[in-house]
Amino acid sequence: MEGFEGKAVLVTGGFVGSAVAEAFLKSGANIAFVYGNPNRLPILSEKFTSYHNAFLPIRADLSDFAQAKHSVETANEKFGGVDILMNALGGWLGGKKLHEHSPSDLSKMLSMDAIPTFNIMSAVLPVMMERRSGKVINFISTQIFGSGAQNAIYSASKSAVLAFTKAAAEEYKSYGISAYAIAPSTIDTESNRKAMPKADSSRWVGIEEIVDAVLYLCRTGRSSSGTIIKFLTK
C-alpha cells in the first residue's frame, strides 16, 4: 500500500483507530495515536513495535482542551505538522427514553463525543491553516439519521460532531482543508459480539470497509469536502 509516505496522521479511537493507524503505517505514514486509558499503552506498544519512530503514543483526556492542544503540539513537534486528523473517538449511552436520562448522563455522553471532537479540531485546525492543507475525518453514526428512539443523548452528541464537520468543510476550504464524516451502523468488533451475542454479526459493518473509506477520503480532492459516508447493516 502506497500513497501516504511521510504524512503525519493524528489518530483517536479504540478498535477503529488502531485498524486505521495500522493501514496508514503500512502506507508509509507517521502516526500520533492519542489514547486515554493507561492500560492501552502496552497493547499499542506491542501492536506497533515494529514501526519504531513512525508511531508516537500520546496519553490525553481530550475532553480537556489543554490536553487536546498538548497532543497536537506533541505530534507537530515530532513529525513537523499534522496532515490528517482521523477522529474515531466516542462512546455510547442509550437504551432509555429521553426523560429517563439524567442531566449527568447527557454531560457524560457529550464528554465522550462532542466535547473531545470540538477540542481536538480546535487544536489541530490552526496547524493545518498554517500549512494551508489538511484532512479531518470524524466518526458519527447512522443513528442520527433515524428516529433517535432509545438513543436521544447519543444521537444528540453525534449530531454535534456532524455539525462541527459540516462547518469545518465550509469555513476552512480556503485554507486547503477538507472535512468528512463516516457514519457506520454496528461495527463487527469483538466487544460488540460479546455485548450482543444473539445478534446476526454477518450483517454488521466490517472494519476493512471502514479502513478503505478512510484511505479513500484521504486521497480525494478538495471538491469532495463535506462528504458523509454511511455504512448500513446488510
Question: Over the Cα atoms of the chain, what is R_g?
Answer: 17
CATH code for the domain in which residue 115 is found: 3.40.50.720
The pLDDT > 90 percentage for the chain reads: 79
User: CA dist 135 to 15, 105, 124, 212, Å?
Assistant: 21, 32, 10, 16
Q: Is residue 57 part of a domain?
A: yes
- Pinpoint the alpha helices (H) of the chain: 15-26, 40-47, 65-79, 103-112, 114-131, 152-171, 190-195, 207-219
Q: Is residue 2 part of a domain?
A: no
Domain count of the fold of the chain: 1
Helix, coil or strand: residue 17: helix
Q: What are the tens digits of pLDDT across the range 90-141?
A: 888 888 999 999 999 999 999 999 999 999 999 999 999 999 999 999 999 9
Q: What are the tens digits of pLDDT across the range 203-227?
A: 888 899 999 999 999 998 888 999 9
Q: Is residue 94 part of a domain?
A: yes
Note down the domain range covering 153: 8-231
Report d(CA 38, CA 59) in Å as an integer: 7
Q: What are the tens digits of pLDDT across the range 52-103?
A: 899 999 999 999 999 999 999 999 999 999 999 999 998 888 889 999 999 9
Q: Is residue 58 part of a domain?
A: yes
**Which residue is listed with cell 495515536?**
33
Q: For the range 66-71, what are the long-range contacts, defined as Cβ-Cβ under 8 Å and sequence gap of 24 or more? A: 68/116, 68/119, 68/120, 68/122, 68/123, 69/119, 69/123, 71/10, 71/32, 71/34, 71/120, 71/123
Q: Is residue 177 predicted with pLDDT exceeding 50?
A: yes
- Predicted pLDDT at 2: 55
Q: Is residue 97 part of a domain?
A: yes
Q: Is residue 3 part of a domain?
A: no
Q: What are the tens digits of pLDDT across the range 130-139?
A: 999 999 999 9
In DSSP terms, which residues pair with 179 in a beta bridge? 136
